[in-house]
Amino acid sequence: MNENHRYIKIDQPGTPDVMQLAEGPRPVPGANEVLIRVAAAGINRPDVLQRRGVYPPPPTASPILGLEAAGIVTAIGSKVAQWRIGDAICALTPGGGYAEYCVTPAAHCLPVPAGLSMIEAAALPETAFTVWGNLFRRGRLAAGETVLIHGGGSGIGTTAIQFAKAFGARVFVTANGADKCAACVALGADAAIDYASSDFVAEVQKLTDGRGVDAVLDIVGGDYTARNLAALGLDGRLILVGFQRGTAATIDLSAILRKRIVITGSMLRPQTHDEKALLASDLKDKVWPLIEAGKIRPPIAATFALAQAADAHRLMESSQHIGKIVLTL
């Protein structure tokens, strides 16, 4: 095995052009880690924020971008028992996915689901861990309930639509434009609201006969927060996983009391090793069988070679894509 590998290097924060292909020492797995020869790596919004310099990696994480990858196990740490060299896996990574080789905790890896390509498998971990941990574990979405998912055409949105439908929920989404709305319906959404031309609060009230939804999964934040509270029904849950419109919001606190609303959410990267391992176990038991049965499949918007990572980020920032963007090696 070559002692060096290629990866995407960033010398200073900035535009996509700061990402350059470089060569350096191949990482070495720790006692509880595996080394993956990367076949594909997913692109996610936190990568863009890290590149801009506003979302630094944890002190112990690789400074290389990339929070999910799929490939072949090529080395294992001394305490790893669940994986073998040659296994095909996809993994949630602490960083380092934009590279030919990446190390990650063995407990945060999952087998490549039967029937999926490496590209599709690489598009799963970050959004699957996020959606499961927030919409189901924290948000307690149950069969028969209604959920409003913002950003239906995003990686989070397309994952959440399929997860929620697979577990028996009624799903409404917001998206920008007729094409994205149609794509969300094709994925299983019961209704898609074009937020550029419609008031999603009013549309939700119509769709629920004035009751409001049981849960809102929000990647937007900012001024959407008060409107989300208005769209929720009694005992509703507002689940925050992003803040594309800012972290500050002005809300009417009385709405929380009147409707008994719970506001929750989480960021994935800062969670502990054990918390992420528990999510991986849940996904393997509850979601992976649905993927292998063909009920869930990550839509791939575009693929780019590793050296074209800047172009991949430009597409991400344009928000013109539907589904996941993936780097291939």
On whether the CB atoms of residues 327 and 309 are closer than 8 A, the answer is yes
278: exposed, middle or buried (C-beta count within 10 Å: 0-12, 13-18, 19+)? middle
Q: Looking at residue 163, what is its pLDDT? A: 98
Q: Looking at residue 63, what is its pLDDT? A: 95
Indicate whether 51 and 171 sit together in one domain: no
How much is the average pLDDT of 97-102?
98
Share of the chain above pLDDT 70, in %: 100
Q: Looking at residue 246, what is its pLDDT? A: 86
pLDDT over 90 at 245, yes or no: no
Domain boundary, last residue among 265, 298, 319: 265
Indicate whether 176 and 161 sit together in one domain: yes
Indicate whether 141 and 210 sit together in one domain: yes
Parallel/antiparallel/unpaired status of strands 170-175 and 232-240? unpaired
Domain residue limits at 210: 130-265
Indicate whether 324 and 280 sit together in one domain: yes
Indicate whether 142 and 256 sit together in one domain: yes
Q: Looking at residue 191, what is its pLDDT? A: 98
How much is the average pLDDT of 195-218?
97
Domain boundary, last residue among 236, 265, 294: 265
pLDDT over 90 at 271, yes or no: yes
pLDDT over 90 at 40, yes or no: yes
Indicate whether 317 and 213 sit together in one domain: no
How much is the average pLDDT of 77-87?
98
Indicate whether 152 and 117 sit together in one domain: no
Domain with residue 70: its CATH number is 3.90.180.10
How much is the average pLDDT of 13-39?
98
Q: Among residues 158, 222, 149, which one has the least CA distance to residue 186?
A: 158
Domain with residue 234: its CATH number is 3.40.50.720
Q: Looking at residue 64, what is its pLDDT? A: 98
Indicate whether 134 and 259 sit together in one domain: yes
Indicate whether 189 and 242 sit together in one domain: yes
| Contacting residues for 60 by C-beta, under 8 A, at least 6 apart | 94
Indicate whether 204 and 273 sit together in one domain: no
Domain boundary, last residue among 215, 232, 265: 265
Give 253's pLDDT tier (boundaries 50, 70, 90): very high
On whether the CB atoms of residues 291 and 110 are closer than 8 A, the answer is no
Q: How many domains does the chain have?
A: 2
Parallel/antiparallel/unpaired status of strands 213-218 and 146-149? parallel
Mean pLDDT, rounded, of the chain: 97
Indicate whether 308 and 194 sit together in one domain: no
Region class of 252: left (phi > 0), else alpha (psi between -120 and 50), else beta? beta
Q: Give 1 or 162, the one with higher predicted confidence.
A: 162
Indicate whether 258 and 147 sit together in one domain: yes
Task: Give the tens place of pLDDT for each residue, 124-138.
Answer: 999 999 999 999 999
pLDDT over 80 at 1, yes or no: no
